[in-house]
């Protein structure tokens, strides 16, 4: 009976701890969305914001094209 009691305590403790942590993470993510204003965006606006973030992180490397020697410049 004591082994069953110990197993029950461990299982319920882990369940309650998991429930507690999931509520905290959910509320944290909700607060982040609220402060960024993303909770009021339409799907198109969310895609636009996502593309803007991608464009900021992309590093574009421009390869210059050498001029041809037969063109007269003024």
Q: Report the chain's mean pLDDT, rounded to a whole number.
A: 85
Q: How far apart are CA 1 and CA 47, in angstroms?
A: 57
Predicted pLDDT at 43? 87
Sign (positive or negative) of CA dihedral 37, 38, 40, 41: positive
42 domain residue, yes or no: yes
Considering the domain boundaries, does residue 73 fall inside one? no
Q: Is the pLDDT score of 46 beyond 80?
A: yes
Integer Cα distance of 5 and 13 in angstroms? 12
pTM value is: 0.46
> 71 falls in which pLDDT band (50, 70, 90)?
low
Placement of tokens 């942590």 in the chain: 21
Q: Is 70 helix (H, G, I), strand (E, B) or coil?
A: coil
In angstroms, how far is CA 9 from the centroid of its own chain? Answer: 36
Average pLDDT over residues 41-59: 88
Domain assignment present for residue 6? The answer is yes
Q: Is residue 13 part of a domain?
A: yes
> How many domains are contained in the chain?
1
């Amino acid at each position: 009976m004591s082994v069953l009691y110990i197993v029950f305590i461990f299982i319920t403790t882990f369940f309650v701890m998991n429930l507690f942590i999931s509520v905290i993470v959910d509320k944290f993510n909700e607060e982040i969305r609220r402060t960024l204003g993303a909770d009021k965006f339409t799907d198109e606006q969310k895609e636009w914001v996502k593309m803007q973030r991608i464009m900021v992180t992309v590093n574009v490397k421009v390869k210059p094209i050498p001029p041809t020697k037969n063109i007269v410049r003024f």
